[in-house]
Amino acid sequence: MISVKKHIPNSITCLNLLCGCFACMFAFKGYNEAQYVYLAAMLMCAAAVFDFMDGFAARLLKAYSPMGKELDSLADLISFGFAPGVISMQLANYIITPDQAQLWYSHLPYIAFLIPVFAGLRLAKFNIDTRQTTSFIGLPVPANALFWIGFYSLVEKYSWAECIYFWVAMVLLFSYLMVSEIPMFSLKFANLKLKENYLRYILILGTILFVVFLGFAGLAPTILFYIILSFVQNALSKK
C-alpha cells in the first residue's frame, strides 16, 4: 500500500506531461486551423489541472520525493514551455500578412521559441531557489502558458491582424518576466481568511469575469491582472 501511495503524485505528473505532448502535436497542426490550437489549449488547461493535483496529492499523501520535483519541472517544460511556444509561433504565422511573408518577416515566428528556452531557465532556477517556497520570484510557467492561450484567442477572435511588432514585444516581455527577480504571490491558500488572501480572492473574481465575458481570450487579461496585483502587493509590503 505504501509503495502504491508513493507513486500516485508522479503518476499524476505523467498525465500532465502526456497532455503537454498532445498539446504540442495539435499546436503544430494549427497552421491556419484554429480548431487545432484550441484543442491544444484545452489540453494545456488539463495539464494545469494535473499540475495542481500532483502537488495536492503529494501533500495529502506525504509522498514527497526528489524525483517528483524533477519530474514536475520536466513535465512543466513541455506543457507550459514548449506547447505555448508553438502556439505563439502559430499566432505569429496568423498575423503576418501575405505581403510581409515574402520579406524577412517570415523568420519572425521563430522568436517564439524563446518562450520554452526561458521557461527552462525559470524552472531550473525554481528548483534551486530556496526563496520560492511560499511565493514566486518571476512569473510561473503555467501563468505564462495561460497568457499565450488567451492572447491567441484574443487576436483570432477580434481579427486583430498586423500586430507583429506587438507580438514580438510580448514574447520578449514574458520571456523576461519568467526569469526576473519580481516577487509574485502564490495562488495556494494556507487558510481561507480574507485578510491574508484578499489578493487571491480578487484575482479569482477577476478571472471569473474575464472568462465569462471573453471565454479563452479572458485568460490573457487574467494573467496581466495577476502581474498587476503582484506589483500592488510588493508596493504595499514595502510600506
Reference 178, options 234, 118, 112; nearest CA is 118
Instruction: Report whether 172 contacts 114 (CB < 8 A).
Output: yes
pLDDT for 190: 61
Q: Which DSSP state fits 30? A: T
- Neighbouring C-beta atoms of residue 195, cutoff 10 Å: 6
pLDDT for 181: 92
Instruction: Report whether 136 contacts 184 (CB < 8 A).
Output: yes
Instruction: Report whether 171 contacts 114 (CB < 8 A).
Output: yes
Phi, psi of 30 (to 5 degrees): -80, 10
d(CA 151, CA 155): 6
What's the pTM value of the predicted model, to 2 decimals? 0.89
Per-residue pLDDT of the chain (239 residues; tens, 9 = 90+): 456 777 888 899 999 999 999 999 999 987 667 789 999 999 999 999 999 888 778 777 777 777 888 899 999 999 999 999 999 999 988 887 656 555 656 788 899 999 999 999 999 988 888 787 778 899 999 999 999 999 999 888 776 666 788 899 999 999 999 999 999 988 776 666 767 788 889 999 999 999 999 988 999 999 999 999 999 888 877 76
Give 176's Cβ-side CA count (13 Å radius).
7
Residue with cell 494549427: 30
Instruction: Report whether 108 contacts 92 (CB < 8 A).
Output: yes
C-alpha radius of gyration, the chain, whole number? 18
- What is the rounded (10 degree) CA torsion for 219, 125, 174, 214? 0
Q: Which three cell numbers stand for residue 17?
A: 506531461
pLDDT for 97: 63
E strand residue ranges, the chain: 135-137, 183-185
Q: What structural domains does the chain harbor?
A: 2-144+151-184 (1.20.120)
User: Which residues make Cβ contacts (< 8 Å) with residue 86, sequence separation at least 6?
Assistant: 24, 27, 28, 30, 40, 112
pLDDT for 105: 64
d(CA 216, CA 220): 8
d(CA 219, CA 32): 22
